[in-house]
Amino acid sequence: MTDREQGNEFLPKFDAAGLLTAVAQDAASGEVLMVASMNAEALARTRETGLAHFFSRSRNTLWLKGETSGNTLAVERVLVDCDQDALVLQVRPAGPACHTGARTCFYRALEGDVLARHG
């Protein structure tokens, strides 16, 4: 057991690319809405503004979730895992979290070998 695991100091562990994984979860329903990456700046902006910011690996840029759609995620609580390389953001979504218009990005379930919409 290390201080990182047992202590009260926030020591986010970024990987070689400077990223950690953030899971956005609906604070009311518990539904997982999306999974994205954060770099140190995305984490700092999220903490400063209370709105979820992520880092896009494909576009190599910081983004405010909902910047164009208006579908921001207001962060109520940040949970931190044992080795501090993953965060759960418990959020109040302003609208559909997924760019497809679905409430959550996880709108399909694996049933046998195919995907089916659910919920």
By CB under 8 A, name the binding residues for its own copies: 1, 5-10, 21, 23, 25, 29-32, 34-35, 47, 77-82, 86, 88, 98-100, 102, 105-110, 113-116, 118
Least Å distance, CB 74 to its own copies, is 15
Residues 11, 84: Cα–Cα separation, whole Å: 7
Query: Which CB atom, from 23 or from 62, has the smaller least distance to its own copies?
Result: 23
Least Å distance, CB 57 to its own copies, is 8
Least Å distance, CB 114 to its own copies, is 5
Token pair for residue 1? 């057991």
Query: Which CB atom, from 8 or from 60, has the smaller least distance to its own copies?
Result: 8
Residues 46, 64: Cα–Cα separation, whole Å: 9
Residues 17, 76: Cα–Cα separation, whole Å: 27
Residues 64, 33: Cα–Cα separation, whole Å: 16
